[in-house]
A = this chain, B = another copy of it.
Amino acid sequence: MKNPIQHQRNPEAVLQHVLELLKKAEIMDALASNQETPRQDLVQALVKRQNITALQQRLNSLHPADVAFVLESLPLEPRQIIWDLLKVEHAGAILLEVSDAVRENLIADMTSSELVGVARHLDSDEIAELVTDLPKDVVLEVLNTLDSESRLDVQSMLAFPEGSVGALMEYDLVTVREDINLDVVLRYLRRQKDHLGNAEQIFVVNREGTLRGSLALKDLLFHDPEELVIEVMNQEPFFFYTNDDAKEAASAFERYDLISAPVVNNHKQLVGRLTIDAMLDFTKEIAQKELLNQAGLNDKEDLFASIYKSAKNRWAWLAINLVTAFIASRVIGAFEETIEKLVALATLMPIIAGIGGNSGNQIVTLIIRGLALKQVHTDNIWYLLRKELSIAMINGLLWGAVMGVIAMLLYKQISLGIVMMAAMTLNLLVAACVGVFVPLIIYKLGRDPVFGSNVILTALTDSLGFFIFLGLASVFLL
């Protein structure tokens, strides 16, 4: 269990180890008792201590992804200390690995010359990824340190909109012509080894740079070196356009088990390549974002952000929900006279509203998933609505009867039980309509149904739930 690979098998152990070293170095205590000295100066002063050297060595021997994990798992103060202990040549790779929220927080604390220093150790596609989070003046400085080719790469990359294939592709490419033989390719590749990176295939283009095919490196092993590229290459490689949707590209990678794919411009000229690891990072980021958005959280919410920042992050959601809750409350307000005469209604009404919300939420989830998987479309939406209405009818009558009997036994009033059952069935029918149509409409308006569907659903199932129950009660019970 002593080799470094064993350690990396368990990032939590790494974190634990770093925390121990941090404690041993007594750096937190030194900081706490030296509040007037600036943190960075103090860290510099402390670096000579033996335990800190151990900590620094440990950190600089870690994979950037593991350092990123450590940084993300620490509260702001120790996070900054760890950050200050890292070598500048590792900092860039780590910045690319951390979440958006943590990156923003780390960058905010760096001087522009530090940032320029960090960028010096990155490739042009990495710089392009980082640049969107940098202050404007730093971006210019960084671009000035680049040679003209790299600068052009960064600039054209920045021109692609977020969420497009162009914004995620790599520029480092090795290309060959189709009319040469494999032996020539092999000799060429040996010279280009450094540009190959982790590529498992190279691309074949013609004189105009148009994509002609792809050549798996493996095929070079198994074919006669005298064969021509055109005889061996895949003549119909799966390719993407720069303006393709990155989400579609990710799903194509998954469907066809791709490892990498060429990216072309509108003239079918090869401009870059897309790799499975960029796709995997993108997919993970999107999933995280949707999870947070669904709960009304900003995707820049950092677990360890300051209290004030986090509180502010949640205001919009609180406000929206207060508005919808207030509307539902006014619906009840309209029936205050009814409630005064039969206070049992106030007791029972949250059951009707709540169950509509819960069932509707299930339907919303199914429809959103169906939309994301492209299984829901205008052809089958009526089929799905009919199905959900039938389910609502069955469940409303069945569970409405159960609750109706309970209400009847509690309040010794048969008509109250019947109103209860009717209201529950009606509100489940409302939930079915809302659950099917709200995500669909949001989707058709070109927005992400993950954000907003649930609020609208709850607003409607609450307000209409109260209205149906109290309305039926006013008519039939008083």
Instruction: Say whether A402 faces chain B, with CB atoms less than 8 Å apart.
Output: yes
Stretch of A30-38, A114-122, A149-157, A389-397 at the chain-chain interface: A389-397
Q: Name the CB-closest residue of B to A403.
A: B322
Q: Mark A335-347, 1 if CB is under 8 A from B, else 0.
A: 0100110011011
Instruction: Say whether A56 faces chain B, with CB atoms less than 8 Å apart.
Output: no
Given contacts A303-B375, A318-B358, A322-B351, 18 further A-B contacts (CB under 8 A): A4-B236, A5-B236, A11-B374, A73-B373, A190-B222, A254-B277, A276-B276, A276-B280, A294-B365, A301-B366, A304-B383, A310-B387, A311-B390, A315-B399, A318-B399, A321-B354, A330-B347, A339-B339
Stretch of A133-141, A284-292, A441-449 at the chain-chain interface: A284-292
Interface SS majority for chain A:
helix
B365 near A291 with CB under 8 A, answer: yes
Neighbouring B residues of A3 by C-beta, 8 Å: 236
Instruction: Say whether A220 faces chain B, with CB atoms less than 8 Å apart.
Output: yes
Neighbouring B residues of A344 by C-beta, 8 Å: 333, 336
Q: Mark A299-312, 1 if CB is under 8 A from B, else 0.
A: 00101100110110
A254 near B284 with CB under 8 A, answer: yes
Copies of this chain in the oligomer = 2
Neighbouring B residues of A329 by C-beta, 8 Å: 347-348, 350-351
Instruction: Say whether A161 faces chain B, with CB atoms less than 8 Å apart.
Output: no
B284 near A395 with CB under 8 A, answer: no
10 A-B residue pairs with Cβ-Cβ distance under 8 Å, sorted by A, are A254-B280, A254-B281, A287-B287, A294-B365, A296-B358, A314-B359, A314-B395, A325-B350, A326-B406, A346-B349
Q: Mark A446-459, 1 if CB is under 8 A from B, else 0.
A: 00000000000010
B75 near A11 with CB under 8 A, answer: no
B73 near A375 with CB under 8 A, answer: yes
CB contact between A200 and one of B200, B318, B347, B366 (< 8 Å): that residue: B200
